[in-house]
Amino acid sequence: MFVKNAWYCAGWDYEFTQSKDSLVTRKIANERVVLYRRLDGVLVAFEDRCPHRQAALSLGRKEGDSLRCMYHGMRFGPDGTCNEIPGQSRIPDRACVRAFPVIEKDNWVWVWMGDPVKADPALIPFAVGPSEPEWNIKTSKMHVKTNYRNEIANLSDLSHITWIHENTVGGSRKYTEVSPEFELIPRGMKTRYWVRSCAAPGAARHLFAPDALFDIHFDICHTIPCTWILHYRLFTAGTATEGESNGQLILDTWSSQAVTPRDEDSVDYYFSWGASRATDFPGGSDMLKEAVVIAFQEDAVQLEAQHIRQKEKPDFQQIDIPLDAGPGKMLWVLDRLLRQEATEQISLSQ
């Protein structure tokens, strides 16, 4: 089950080059999508399926702004309408390929999988991309064989960084003792909290004295289907027990993360991390990015094992604990959107 009327991240803008042969194929929410740039650089997104006999358009050829299916030669303009059928002059109205709204923003490419009329660019979530001049953002991507609900739950409760990520981006029991401030927003949730007098994250511990302590602030904007933008600030531990830390800000960072379901069994994960130019140090942002790459491999092992087990016992009576507050809220937001779309579908068909 996927929300259709939503922007899904299709990758980093640099993956979609202007080159003559650059056709990128993706699977997004169970639909196959092929993307390419027009001569003016604007991106086009089609269903990767020729309307004639379902041939793969991603095996086709760019011709100017058009895309030719290389099976029987039908050619489609950037709006999806056919502009040539070899062997005939008349082109039937139905001979068009489904075109998806596509927008580039903050170095990400976004595709709208639902009704094009509802494709409101204002719904594209805020992010901090690698071209932001004030930030030294490093990017990566990964494929994980789990249902995207597990990724949403994983990102909605960071207490797990105590355990899974003890040697990378977490490692202190302090992360399990926080009191997050949740704020529901139209398609998601904001989460803010302090972790005070905490050891450095595992991957950075060698940079500091063994007993060095820090105040860390997490400020997260999490939206459906799954975009997760983190403003992460690291201070030397201060004496304040509430409100802003009175320690020294030593690292000011942004991590932007987008999880795009391919289907019910796997996701593509596009993510970045990096420090402000003011607080970065040589190798600093690369270290952050490497830490998150390893951390996401740590997550992948667990989320893939979890997915296998969930498929084996779909009716397993699981127990809930207080740490499920964040995941519960985000999955409630997701399920509400899914129900809403299902209801609209029923209304439309009556």
Which positions lie near a copy of itself, rule CB under 8 A? 30, 32, 48-49, 51-56, 58-59, 68-74, 85-88, 92, 94-95, 153, 157, 159-160, 162-164, 173, 176-177, 301-302, 305-306, 309-310, 312-313, 316, 318-323
Judged by beta carbon, residue 129 or residue 202, the one nearer a copy of itself is 202
Q: How far is the CB of 115 from a copy of itself (least distance, A)?
A: 18
| Helix (H/G/I), strand (E/B), else coil: 259 | strand
Q: Are 136 and 275 in contact (CB under 8 A)?
A: yes
Q: How far is the CB of 299 from a copy of itself (least distance, A)?
A: 9
Residues contacting residue 20 through CB under 8 Å, at least 6 positions apart: 62
Judged by beta carbon, residue 179 or residue 347, the one nearer a copy of itself is 179
Q: How far is the CB of 87 from a copy of itself (least distance, A)?
A: 5
Token pair listed for 328: 């519960």
Judged by beta carbon, residue 197 or residue 302, the one nearer a copy of itself is 302
Judged by beta carbon, residue 153 or residue 292, the one nearer a copy of itself is 153
Judged by beta carbon, residue 75 or residue 289, the one nearer a copy of itself is 75
Q: How far is the CB of 324 from a copy of itself (least distance, A)?
A: 8
Q: Are 226 and 259 in contact (CB under 8 A)?
A: yes
Judged by beta carbon, residue 89 or residue 283, the one nearer a copy of itself is 89
DSSP notation for 21-70: T--EEEEETTEEEEEEE-TTS-EEEEESS-TTT---GGGSEEETTEEE-T
Q: How far is the CB of 193 from a copy of itself (least distance, A)?
A: 13
Judged by beta carbon, residue 51 or residue 130, the one nearer a copy of itself is 51
Q: How far is the CB of 293 from a copy of itself (least distance, A)?
A: 19
Q: Are 66 and 76 in contact (CB under 8 A)?
A: yes
Token pair listed for 11: 């990758």
Q: How far is the CB of 78 from a copy of itself (least distance, A)?
A: 19
Q: What are phi and psi of 346, to 5 degrees?
A: -65, -45
Token pair listed for 332: 């409630």
Query: What's the rounded Cα separation, in Å, for the pair 276 and 133?
Result: 9
Judged by beta carbon, residue 162 or residue 279, the one nearer a copy of itself is 162
Q: Are 148 and 156 in contact (CB under 8 A)?
A: no
Q: How far is the CB of 126 from a copy of itself (least distance, A)?
A: 29
Residues contacting residue 169 through CB under 8 Å, at least 6 positions apart: 161, 201, 202, 203, 291, 292, 295
